[in-house]
Amino acid sequence: MRRLFCSAVLLGLTVTCNAQVRGGIADVAVIDRDSGAVLSPHYYRGEYWVAGRPGARYSIQIRNRLGERLLAVTSVDGVNVVSGATAGWDQTGYVFGPGESYQITGWRKTDAEVAAFTFTESANSYAERTGRPGNVGVIGVAIFRERRQEPAYTPPAIARPDMAQPLDKAQAQAGAAGRASSAEESDARVASVPGPNAPANVAVPAPAPKLGTGHGEREYSYVNHTEFTRMQTQPNEVIRIRYDSLERLFAMGIVKRPRPVSPTANPFPASPGEQYVPDPAG
């Protein structure tokens, strides 16, 4: 069994269904911690995208939909958020109790601290500053179910004349119940990254640098450790969310730009006017 980190931050925020990426066994949402906005995902060509606000802190909310423990191996920009290693499915992650939701708010530094996730220019992202720019702009959550421990076999006891009581049955071992607690307060929301398959009719260059995730200020976030045995080597579910700034999502055609509204619209432009409605011309 591999020792894993338990999740650090218990959510105090209920996220509406339309602001989550819903999976079969877990839901994921991204929250702008500075504004409190839960970023609505935009589904485009088989992928979910969200718009991040440059400079804002954000968090990743994961909700366990099952009545059993789950392991969430989480990556940002292709980097494991707990260990800082180039992300792989077989690495450490956060353990969620049955039906629980948590926010992951930063890069894990110690059992009591994280460096906050911040939306920043790609060149200032943690991944690019550590020489790994190839996957900037994507959040991934690989979900594993837990293997149930089989009770140990106990052979039947044979009664002997000198025994006053029959032998007791051996109790089956129970797995450690890793439960997370934390003192992080925040709301979360995420953004998406542009892809090479933008629509052909969008020829306008990106108006701003691509977004990545920076290594922000240190914050308190306590975790403890627990053991978790995976049901299988491959994830039971993988949820992926891409992010970038709203302006870049407009430029790529992922989000439609709203129609301009006249700032001087007047509901009574000719008052006083006709007493009754006249017939139209013709």
Residue 3 in this model has a pLDDT that exceeds 50: no
Per residue in 21-46, pLDDT tens? 888 899 999 999 999 999 999 999 99
Per residue in 233-268, pLDDT tens? 999 999 999 999 999 999 999 999 888 776 777 777
Strand pairing category for 42-44 and 101-104: unpaired
Q: What is the pLDDT of the chain when averaged over all its residues?
A: 79
206: in domain: yes
166: in domain: no
* In the block, residue with structure tokens 């790529």: 252
- Once rounded to an integer, what is the mean pLDDT over residues 221-239? 95
114: in domain: yes
Indicate the pTM of the whole model: 0.70
- Once rounded to an integer, what is the mean pLDDT over residues 210-221? 96
- Supply the pLDDT for residue 6: 47
Per residue in 66-108, pLDDT tens? 999 999 999 999 999 999 999 999 999 999 999 999 999 999 9
- Supply the pLDDT for residue 160: 52
Residue 161 in this model has a pLDDT that exceeds 90: no
- Supply the pLDDT for residue 154: 64
* In the block, residue with structure tokens 């996220």: 15
265: in domain: no
Per residue in 165-209, pLDDT tens? 443 443 333 333 333 333 333 323 233 333 444 444 544 454 578
| φ and ψ at residue 63, rounded to 5 degrees | -120, 125
82: in domain: yes
33: in domain: yes
Q: Give the DSSP letter string of 223-264.
A: --EEEE-BS-SS-SEEEEEEEEEHHHHHHHTSSPPPPP--TT
- Supply the pLDDT for residue 152: 67
Gyration radius of the chain's alpha carbons: 26
Helix (H, G, I), strand (E, B) or coil at 43: strand
Number of domains, the chain = 1
DSSP 53: -
276: in domain: no
Residues with Cβ within 8 Å of 54's Cβ and at least 6 positions away in sequence, in order, are 119, 120, 121, 208, 211, 245
The range of the structural domain enclosing residue 143 comes to 2-149+173-252
Inter-residue contact 178 to 95 (CB < 8 Å): yes
214: in domain: yes
- C-alpha atoms less than 13 angstroms from C-alpha of 180 in its C-beta half-sphere: 32
- Once rounded to an integer, what is the mean pLDDT over residues 58-71? 96
